[in-house]
Structure 1
C-alpha cells in the first residue's frame, strides 16, 4: 500500500513538473505573440504612412490638373483673341491697300505693294512665331501633366524596388565602408535620375568648393533652385550595426545592443554632417539645412522609431534625414518648381514678344497714317495742278493750243486725253478771231495814210 502511495506521489510530482514546463513554454509563446503583435503594428503604421503619402500625392495631382486646365483655357482664350485681332487687322490692311491701289497708277501701286510687303512680312513672321510659342507651351503642359501622373503611379513601385535592392546588397556591402559609400551614392544618383531633374542643369555631383579658410569641401549632390539658391544632399550609409540587429533580433540582449549601435552610428553621421558649414562656401547660396540621405528605408525606420528624439536632434543641427521615398517626393517638387519657373519665363517672353508686336503694329499704323496724309496731300496737289493745266480762264492747255492755232510749229501735239479734259476759253477764241482780222485793218489804215499824203 505504501509503495502504491509512493508511486502515485512520484507520478504527481512528474505531472507537476510537466505542468510547470508547459506553463513556461506557454509564457514564452505569449511573449513571442506580443513581439509579433508589435511587429504587425509597426508594419501597419508604415502601411498607413504610405497610404497617406499616396493620398497626398493624389490630391496634389488633382490640384495641379485643375491649375493646368485653367492655364490651358486661359492660353486658348488668348490665342483666339489674337486670331480675331489678326483677322481684323488683316481685313483693315486689305481694305486700305485696295483703296490705295484703286487711286494710284500701276507703277505707284507696285511701289506701294512692295512697301506694304516690307512692313507686313516681319509682322506676319512675329505673329506666326507667337502662335508657335503658345502652341508649344500648351503641348509642354499636356506632356508634363501626363508625365506627372505616370511618376506618381510609379512612386510606390520605385520605393519597393529600391528597398529590395538595398536588402539584397546588404551582405555584399558588409564590412567595406568604401563600397558602402559608393553604393549609397549610386542609389542617390538613381533617385536623382527618376526625379526628372537634369544633371549639369538642375543638379551637380561631386563639386569642389572652399570656405573662407580655404578648406576644401566635396558635397555629394548640389540641387539648384530658382533665384540662384542651392540645396545640398549628402549620402550616409549605416549598415553594419543594422545588419547585426536584423540577424540577432531573436536574441534580445545582442539585438538591443546592435540597435543601440545603429542609432549611435546615425547620430554620429548627423553630428559629422552638421559640423560642415556649407552655407559659408564660396559660390554656393545654400539654405540653412542639409539633407542627409539614408538609402535603406528599414534602417531609417528602425533608428527613428526606437529613438524618438533623434529627428529633433537632427533638426536642431539643421539636418533633415531623408530616404529614397521622401527624397524623391522632394526632388519631384523641385522639378515642378523648375517647370513652373520655365513656364513663367516663357510667359514673360511671350508678353515681351506681344509688346514688341504691339509696338511694331503701332509703328506700322503711324506709318500708314503718314502715308495716307501724304497721299491726300499729293492728291490735292495733283488736282490743283490739273485744274491749272486744264480748267479755268487762261489755263495752260488753252494757251498752248492758241500757239498752234496761230501757226506755231510743233513736233507733236499734246495727248488727246488732256486736250479732251481741257476747257476751251470762248474769250480766247474771240480774241483769236479778232487777230485774224488784223491784216485787213492794217491795210485800211495804210490806205488812209496814202490818201492824206
Structure 2
C-alpha cells in the first residue's frame, strides 16, 4: 500500500514535474520565440543599421569627396589669391626696394662712374708716366754713359796740374752762373792785375760789391792726393791720402796768403776766398786736419766749397739788389724834389690864368648887359614889324655866375707875391713861347717844303 502510495506519489510527482516541465518548456519556447523574434527584429535593425551605415558611409564618402573637391577648389582659389597677393606684394616690395636701391646706389653709381673715369685717367696718366719714365730712364742711361765717359776723360785730364786748375775754374764758373750775379757787371773772371811788388797776378774771379768793394776768389785746388784717396779701396790707404790732400791744401793756403790779392785792389777786404771745387774734398780735408780752418783764417784765407760759396754769392747778390733799390730811391727822391719845385713855379702862371679868366668873365657879363639893354630891345621891335615876322627869335643871353677857383698858395708851397717866383713864371712862359715859336717855324718850314 505504501508502495502504491509511493508509486502514486511518484506518478503524481512525475505528473506534477511533467506539468511543471511542460510549463517551463512552454515558457522556454515562448522565450525562444520571443528571443527569435527579438533576434529577427535585431537582425532587421542590424540590417537596417548596416544599410543606414552603408548609406551614411556612402554619403560620408560623397561628402568627403565633395568637401575635398570644395576644399581643393577653395584652396586653389585661396592659394591663387594668396599667390597673386604675394606676387603683387613681392612686386611692390621689389619696386620699392629697387627704387630705394636706385636712390641708394645712385651716388654709388656716380662714384663708380667717377672712379671709372679717374681710373681711366689714372691708367692714361700711368701709361704716359710709364712712357715718360722709360724715356727718362733712357735719357738717364745715356746721361750716365756720357757721365762715365766724361768721368773717365776727367780722370785722364786731372792727371796734370794745369787741367786740375781748369776743373776748379769750370766749377767756379758754374757756381757764379747759379748765384744770379751778372758776368762782367757784378763779377769778372780771370782778371790780370799787378801785385804790390809789381808782379803779375791773375785771380780767378773778382766779385764787385757796392762802394767799389771787391772780393777775390781763387779756384786752384791740389787735386792729386784727393783723387788717390777716392780711388783707394783700403781705409788706411784712403786715410793716408786724405791727410796728404789736407797737407796740400794747407800749403796752397800758405801760397795764397803770400799773394795778398787785396793789396792791388781799392776798398777790398783783407782776405782771399779759396774755392774748393768739391764739398766732399773740403770735408775730408777738415776731417784729416782739424786745425786747417783756424790756420786758413789766420792767414786771411776763407776756405769754401760750392755750397758755402753759393750762399756767400747769394748774400752778395742781395746786397747789390738792395744797393740798387737804395740808388733808385735816391733818384726818385731827387726827381720828386725837382717835381715839387716845378709845381711850385707853375703856381704863378696858374694864378695869372685864373685872374685872366675872371677878367674875361667880367668883361663877358658887361658885354651881355650892354647888349641886353641897348641892342636886343631894338632887335625885338624890328622883329615885330610886318616884314620881319619870319625871323627867328633871339635867344636869351645869360650871365656867367661862376668864377675861376682861387689858387690856395699855401697848399702849393708858393708865395704869389714872391718876385723870384714871378721871374721863374716869366721864364717858364718865355720857354713855352719859344717852344711854340719853334714849332710854328718848323710847321712853316714843313709847309714850305
Question: TM-score, normalised on structure 1?
Answer: 0.45
The structure number with the bigger radius of gyration is: 2
Higher relative contact order (CA 8 A, sep 6+): 1
